Amino acid sequence: MNKPRILLVEDEKVVAADIEECVKGLGYDVVGSAATGAEALRLAVNAAPDLVLMDIKLKGPLDGIDVAGALYDQLKIPVVYLTAHADAEILERAKKTAPSGYVLKPFDDRTLRTAIELAFDRHGRERQLIEGGERLATAIGSIDEGVIVTQANGRIAVMNRVAEELTGWTQEEASGRALGDVFVTLKGMTGSLQPSPAGRVLREGLSVGLGENTLLRGRHGTSTPIQGSAAPVRDRNAETVGVCLLFRAANQRSGDENWGAPDHVSASRTEILGRLTAGVAERLANLLKAGRGRARAAQLSRRLLEFAQRQPAPAGMVDLNQLVAGLEDLLRCALGGDIELRTALHPRTGKVKADAGRIEMLLMNLAVAARDAAPGGCFSIETSASGSEGSADRFAMLTVSGRDARHNPALDLPRLDEIVREGAGEIRVASEDGAVKIYVPK
């Protein structure tokens, strides 16, 4: 395995020599050492280092913060600041360049190694999200809602066509910017500025609704009433590594939707779609990072797009087993890597008369709730049929349980009842023995 390649930027020759010796002693390669900002930029372009150790105070017109910002914006190279200066003003400037680490001089070998390894880990997770988001951009491009995905530092990784239209920013212009610079919202009643939802999502790891009476202030002075929600993007270790924001103009919603209302966040389609977008981005990155599964990744993207574009529909004949089997990919993305999905599809379940999208929403809500409740365990879906041939009360049944997990699906009944009430009454849900039973007429 090749050693990580590091560029040093330090204008004191003696200090630079000491740092270089320390870095090499830790097992890294040093691709060069620069004393000025201009020299650092030239070396970074030519040597393409994996990381830059940057002193903030440099001689010349460009200081270390100027150089770090350019390295991140143009070359996506992570930077760790090495400096003896830690006053509030410098820290505020430094934070705007999205550094991957900050180490105060003097430091020892252990402190430096820790900072470098953490920087590589953070940058790797952010790149995985960006690459997954870029590959997902084609899939989300046709979704009718605005989609913005950020990195762990709150900077934008990907946005779709609808988000571009509503904000007035293009993907190219917005990429790498803080979400609060592009997605600016106001309280509709007072016109006062609202904080970016990314901050709360990243701090608490919870999904939040944008609330009613929210205005999106566009780049060119437009003001659009919107609804939506922001959900955390989690990696395979359940750590929050970004934010997925979904929103649309208020006049686009149908009468039976409660977009963004705080007490309906978990039950809304935008919440589920946000969680799925995050999960699918992670799965796509894993598939394509390994250099395999391109057809599989394309299939998964199409499946997400189908789910996103599905609208409420009159009850029709649906093969229940096929519906569950076709939903397995998205269920696994919603559950994450720590919860096992098990399905038992009875061959005589047959077709039911229902809105397929409503059944999908019931199952996806249960899957998201299972992941939120606790890591690990098993999420089980079984299909079966009841009633004799020719009888008027024949129905099929979906049994959802959380075997060996701390999640009790029965606790989610209020949310499921809300989804059922929005339909034509063809579906019923009930709690039996700690499992949720979904009854659908044959």
Q: How far apart are CA 359 and CA 354, in angstroms?
A: 8
Q: Is residue 238 part of a domain?
A: yes
What pLDDT is stored for residue 425 in this prediction? 60
User: Which residues have C-beta within 8 Å of that of residue 121, sequence separation ≥ 6?
Assistant: none
Q: Is residue 235 part of a domain?
A: yes
* Token couple for 268: 């809304």
Q: How far apart are CA 379 and CA 337, in angstroms?
A: 12
Do 216 and 301 lie in one domain? The reply is: yes
* Number of separate domains in the chain: 3
Do 154 and 265 lie in one domain? The reply is: yes
Q: Is residue 357 part of a domain?
A: yes
Q: Is residue 303 part of a domain?
A: yes
What pLDDT is stored for residue 233 in this prediction? 77
User: Which residues have C-beta within 8 Å of that of residue 104, sequence separation ≥ 6?
Assistant: 83, 84, 86
Exposed (0-12), middle (13-18) or buried (19+): which is 421, by Cβ within 10 Å? exposed
Secondary structure of residue 411 in the 3-state scheme: helix
Closest to 225 measured CA to CA, from 234, 235, 215: 215
CATH number for the domain that contains residue 330: 3.30.565.10
* Token couple for 94: 């430094």
What pLDDT is stored for residue 260 in this prediction? 42
pLDDT in tens, 308-367: 556 666 778 889 999 898 888 888 877 877 788 899 999 888 888 888 888 888 888 888
**The domain boundary residue, chosen from 61, 77, 107:** 107
What pLDDT is stored for residue 270 in this prediction? 56
Range of the domain at 286: 125-307
> How does strand 340-345 pair with strand 378-386?
parallel
Q: What share of the chain is helix, strand, coil (3-state, %, to 5)?
A: 45, 25, 30
Residue 127 · residue 58 · CB < 8 Å? no
What pLDDT is stored for residue 413 in this prediction? 62
Rounded to 5°, angle at Cα 220 from 182 and 228: 45
Do 277 and 332 lie in one domain? The reply is: no
Do 145 and 258 lie in one domain? The reply is: yes
Mean pLDDT across 218-243: 81
DSSP class of residue 410? Answer: G
Q: How far apart are CA 382 and CA 366, in angstroms?
A: 14
Do 44 and 162 lie in one domain? The reply is: no
Do 227 and 156 lie in one domain? The reply is: yes
**The domain boundary residue, chosen from 107, 141, 173:** 107
CATH number for the domain that contains residue 198: 3.30.450.20
Mean pLDDT across 1-29: 87
Mean pLDDT across 34-42: 88
What pLDDT is stored for residue 82 in this prediction? 85
Q: Is residue 112 part of a domain?
A: no
What pLDDT is stored for residue 343 in this prediction? 92
Q: How far apart are CA 289 and CA 127, in angstroms?
A: 11
Confidence grade of residue 254 (pLDDT, cut at 50, 70, 90): very low
Do 303 and 260 lie in one domain? The reply is: yes
Residue 379 · residue 406 · CB < 8 Å? no
Q: What is the mean pLDDT of the chain?
A: 77
Name residue 232's beta-bridge partners: 243
What pLDDT is stored for residue 245 in this prediction? 86
Do 281 and 379 lie in one domain? The reply is: no
User: Which residues have C-beta within 8 Å of that of residue 33, sequence separation ≥ 6?
Assistant: 7, 8, 9, 10, 16, 20
What pLDDT is stored for residue 292 in this prediction? 46
User: Which residues have C-beta within 8 Å of that of residue 37, sequence separation ≥ 6?
Assistant: 9, 58, 60, 61, 62, 63, 64, 66, 67
Asked if residue 65 has pLDDT above 90, the reply is no
Asked if residue 255 has pLDDT above 80, the reply is no
**The domain boundary residue, chosen from 261, 285, 307:** 307
Asked if residue 236 has pLDDT above 60, the reply is no
Q: Is residue 419 part of a domain?
A: yes
What pLDDT is stored for residue 310 in this prediction? 60
What pLDDT is stored for residue 219 in this prediction? 92
Kindly state the greatest CA–CA separation across the chain.
Answer: 91
Do 409 and 329 lie in one domain? The reply is: yes
Do 384 and 420 lie in one domain? The reply is: yes
pLDDT in tens, 108-120: 888 888 888 888 8
- Indicate the range of 74-83, 96-105, 317-326 predicted with least confidence: 96-105
Asked if residue 266 has pLDDT above 50, the reply is no
* Residue 191, phi-psi category: left (phi > 0), alpha (psi -120 to 50), beta (remainder): left
CATH number for the domain that contains residue 48: 3.40.50.2300
Distance of CA 438 to the CA centre of its chain: 30
pLDDT in tens, 379-429: 899 999 875 555 445 788 999 887 655 556 555 566 676 667 655 567 888
What pLDDT is stored for residue 185 in this prediction? 93
DSSP state string for 107-161:
--HHHHHHHHHHHHHHHHHHHHHHHHHHHHHHHHTT-SSEEEEE-TTSBEEEE-H
- φ, ψ of residue 397 in degrees (nearest 5): -135, 135
Do 290 and 317 lie in one domain? The reply is: no
Q: Is residue 168 part of a domain?
A: yes
Q: Is the pTM of this model over 0.75?
A: no
Q: Is residue 116 part of a domain?
A: no
pLDDT in tens, 135-193: 555 555 556 678 888 888 888 888 888 899 999 999 889 888 889 999 999 987 788 88
User: Which residues have C-beta within 8 Å of that of residue 89, sequence separation ≥ 6?
Assistant: none
Do 134 and 222 lie in one domain? The reply is: yes
Rg (Cα) of the chain, in Å, rounded? 25
